């Protein structure tokens, strides 16, 4: 059995079994999801992180490319109690280190008590504790990845469903899941996906009905180009955002964001709508949150900790969600968000 080591910022070194070899480093986080490992592993929001699955067995229904949310695995490494051979082989092909045969309950408890932390990993036939510690010493905090958008965004504009009859959406790709685009296209929207550093001139050239800021990894304050777009077009073009997009929009409209202790990651996060009282279950993956909503109204909150899950402004035509309404791998409680977003464009057109 090949050995692996995880060196933690807390000072501990944990021994495990290597399933995909390599050395790497990143922020150690956990997800409570027990299905949807393919979607999680291809979610760009996990860039520069080491993903720990709290559910003990990962890979029991294989690996199917049609479930992927992007074209590659994004976590720097993967940790589980037990990984199936299918997943281990996939991660080996992707050159993503993977380890198992360790007590993930203990690891998750440590993250909950001490917060998401830096770690270094060494796995494979030549792995040593020293190599894992060396990786840890070189690990950056998430806020230090100042241009992380470049690692996850498209390099140039792409158009989806160009002959659609629905509203024209300019989607700023800060690390967008593929299901966001497909959810809009399913509603016959025309979707232009723009790079994370798109300029006001790029958006003006398209003359969209909606400006949509996507999810993505890291600190929202590092996405300065997206901030600038919101400041430029607020009040002129309806604005929508998911996850990092909510944080960026709030920050650009006099709000504030902050890093959470260990974030929300899983498929069973309960969210309460403050107007209707309805509670829905949601998919989430974020380590930052809006601490002050600025010019926006908080309309939905997380049942567990009261952090903002939905922000709106009728006056400014803004609608955002902290969770992932596209819901892959599920649940499907909040898919109507996309209908509401496209309705923004129609309402704005009627008011013009």
Q: Is 247 annotated as a binding residue?
A: yes
Rounded to whole angstroms, the Cα distance separating 287 from 263 reads 4
Q: Is 45 annotated as a binding residue?
A: yes
Contact yes or no for 26/76 (Cβ under 8 A): yes
Q: Which two tokens mark 177? A: 């899941």
Q: Is 182 annotated as a binding residue?
A: no
* CB-CB neighbours of 201 under 10 Å: 8
Q: Is 222 annotated as a binding residue?
A: no
The residue from 27, 69, 243, 309 that is catalytic is: 243
* Residue 326 designated active-site: yes
Please give the backbone phi and psi of residue 69, each rounded to the nearest 5 degrees, phi first: -95, -10
Q: Which residues contact 109 (CB under 8 A, 6 or more apart)?
A: none
* Residue 324 designated active-site: yes
* Residue 174 designated active-site: no
Q: Is 218 annotated as a binding residue?
A: yes
The residue from 38, 47, 309, 326 that is catalytic is: 326
Q: Is 161 annotated as a binding residue?
A: no
Q: Show which residues are catalytic.
A: 243, 324, 326
The binding site comprises 45, 216, 218, 244, 247, 285, 287-288
The binding site for L-glutamine comprises 45, 216, 218, 244, 247, 285, 287-288
């Amino acid at each position: 059995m090949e050995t692996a080591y995880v060196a933690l910022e807390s000072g501990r070194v944990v021994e495990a079994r290597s399933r995909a070899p390599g050395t790497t480093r990143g922020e150690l986080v956990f997800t409570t999801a027990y299905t949807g490992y393919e979607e999680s592993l291809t979610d760009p929001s996990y860039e520069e992180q080491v993903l720990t699955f709290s559910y003990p067995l990962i890979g029991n229904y294989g690996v199917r490319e049609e479930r992927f949310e992007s074209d590659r695995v994004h976590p720097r490494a993967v940790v589980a109690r037990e990984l199936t051979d299918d997943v281990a082989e996939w991660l080996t092909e992707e050159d993503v280190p993977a380890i198992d045969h360790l007590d993930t309950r203990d690891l998750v408890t440590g993250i909950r008590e001490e917060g998401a932390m830096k770690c270094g990993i060494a796995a494979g036939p030549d792995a040593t504790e020293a190599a894992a510690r060396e990786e840890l010493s070189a690990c950056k905090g998430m806020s230090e990845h100042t241009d992380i958008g470049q690692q996850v965004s498209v390099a140039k504009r792409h158009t989806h469903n160009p002959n659609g009859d629905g509203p024209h959406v300019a989607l700023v790709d800060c690390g967008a899941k593929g299901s966001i685009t497909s959810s809009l296209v399913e509603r016959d929207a025309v979707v232009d996906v723009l790079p994370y550093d798109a300029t006001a001139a790029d958006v003006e050239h398209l003359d969209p009905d909606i400006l949509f800021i996507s999810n993505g990894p890291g600190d929202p304050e590092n996405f300065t180009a997206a901030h600038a777009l919101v400041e430029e077009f607020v009040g002129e073009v309806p604005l929508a955002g998911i996850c990092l997009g909510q944080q960026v929009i709030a920050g650009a409209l006099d709000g504030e964001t902050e890093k959470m202790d260990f974030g929300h990651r899983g498929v069973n996060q309960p969210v309460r709508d403050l107007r209707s009282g309805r509670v829905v279950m949601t998919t989430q993956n974020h380590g930052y949150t809006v601490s002050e909503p600025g010019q926006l109204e908080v309309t939905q909150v997380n049942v567990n900790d009261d952090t903002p899950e939905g922000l709106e402004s009728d006056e400014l035509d803004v609608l955002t969600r902290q969770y992932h309404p596209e819901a892959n791998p599920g649940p499907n409680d909040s898919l109507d968000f996309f209908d509401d977003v496209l309705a923004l464009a129609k309402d704005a057109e009627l008011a013009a």
